[in-house]
Amino acid sequence: MSPISTVTQANRASGSTEAASGATAFKVDSPNVRYGADGIESDYLYDTTVVSRDAESGQLKAKPTKVHYQFKTKTNVGRVGLMMVGWGGNNGTTVTASILANRKGISWETRKGTQQPNYFGSLMMASTVKLGVDETLKDVYVPFNQVVPMVHPNDVVIGGWDISGLSIGDAMRRAQVLPVDLQRQVYDELHQLKPLPSVYYPDFIAANQGERADNTLGGTKQEQLDQLRKDIRDFKQANQLDRVIVMWTANTERYADLLAGVNDTADNLLQAIAQGHDEIAPSTLFAAASILEGAPFINGSPQNTLVPGIIDLAERERSFVGGDDFKSGQTKIKSVLAEFLVNAGIKPLAITSYNHLGNNDGRNLSAPAQFRSKEISKSSVVDDMVSANNLLYSKGEHPDHTIVIKYVPSVGDSKRALDEYVSEIFMGGLNTISIYNTCEDSLLASPLIIDLFMMTELMTRVSYRVDSEAKDEWQPFHSVLSILSYMLKAPVVPPNTPIVNAQAKQRMAMENILRAFVGLPPNNEMLLEHKAFH
């Protein structure tokens, strides 16, 4: 396998205004922030409110509290690699070709004229956050990726595995996602890239994927685990990388059965792999290999890859995991619209989602077991919003939620999504919102891969401690990266942590956590500076 090599800032597309890896747009002028040769340290008071209920009166009592955190962020990004499972699929080839086009400044001709490469759709690369206000009280915004030092996607080394042995160039042509003129210009370089053999268990994906499976690993599950670990080590060594991040962007698997003594603890999981147990999924094998090699693993598909044994193993090895399922089009709209309706005091009664698509993901999802995995990941997206409003929903009440996915080959990657929201409004009235959404599936999902990669890489360089007076040792964040929730349909969170699906809350959390790393207070929209009498 010949991965895409990294480039220096000097080798970027001429005229680019994008910052290099590790660049920031500002410095914080505060005694609570210290800039050193190798990192940024900040003191941060976390304001929260603890609520209790009086035992006699039943009255709620709200007590403001402050917790003193210290954060340390290493500023040297170093050389970073991304290994994708399913590299030869629609998402993997689209990401690879698009990064190459951005890196080299490759433009292409369309019916409307010349198109320049960009990172639109990436939260990190194409959105801004409010830094503060200037002396005239006007808002000042900075790129999201320059709040703290982050890796630039143009600098990433890419590799990975696939059950299909096609070169990445040929796989890109097979996917039929990118314009032909762009494909033509990147094909020769991508044709040199070959995916490593991957793990193929026919029981876990649809039977219609068998014709692709000509590049698979043999041997026992233990031998396959050992080979995957070696693949990660070899990739890291060959490209002189400081870190490798592994991401599953392959086919949706069926749900694995959760079995006591098999995948419930780290030791049981490793023993089950050694014994070749049938309920060890390919994605779980990749997750275990990544954890054991200290490489963060992100699950971009809806199956339950991160079984309890994987979480336990990640915690034991102090390695990061995140998942599940890229939140790209229809589900992202649902998490925004449901939040709007509930927060407006409007009661969604029924949410019906229908989509049809013609790419290989749709083909795989035409099998019932794989569709069930997708249905589960999509169905929970409104749960936290419903549970937050007991004025609209009594205990146990929930909107009717129906999800349909159909495979229509002629549509290709241009997925059609239809949604209907029926809500109860004032005095028993009904309101119906219908949405028809055409979305190019891989062009929405691919920027999420970039965002997940960039945010995960950042978290490998961040440590914290609570109350510096106690002289606690610096420690990493919890192994389950809930900060990634914005990009995922069914966020996996640490034990005893609430799951948040509401899109605005997820973005606010990510933005304000990054601000805390550089000692800035959370953003709010009180705008008191504009409301006071002058």
- Give the residue numbers marked as catalytic: 325, 374, 415, 489
Residue 228 main-chain phi, psi, to 5 deg? -60, -40
Which residues neighbour 344 within 8 Å (Cβ) at sequence distance 6 or greater?
A: none
Which residues neighbour 75 within 8 Å (Cβ) at sequence distance 6 or greater?
A: 22, 38, 39, 40, 149, 461
DSSP per-residue letters across 395-434:
TT---EEEEEEEE-GGGTTEEEEEEEEEEE-GGG-EEEEE
Cβ neighbours, 10 Å, residue 127: 17
Taking the alpha carbons at both ends of the chain, their separation in whole angstroms is 66
Please give the Cα distance from 195 to 219 (Å, whole number): 19
The conformation of residue 488, written as its DSSP 8-state character, comes to B
Quote the tokens at residue 471: 């002289």
Q: Give the angle subtended at the CA of 160 by the CAs of 292 and 283, to the nearest 5°.
A: 55
The conformation of residue 279, written as its DSSP 8-state character, comes to T
The conformation of residue 157, written as its DSSP 8-state character, comes to E
Please give the Cα distance from 37 to 201 (Å, whole number): 48
**In sequence order, what E strands does 157-311 have?**
157-162, 196-197, 243-248, 297-299
197 three-state secondary structure: strand
> Measuring CA to CA, which residue among 8, 227, 198, 9 is closest to residue 92?
198
> Measuring CA to CA, which residue among 282, 263, 281 is closest to residue 272?
263
> Measuring CA to CA, which residue among 14, 3, 214 is closest to residue 96?
3
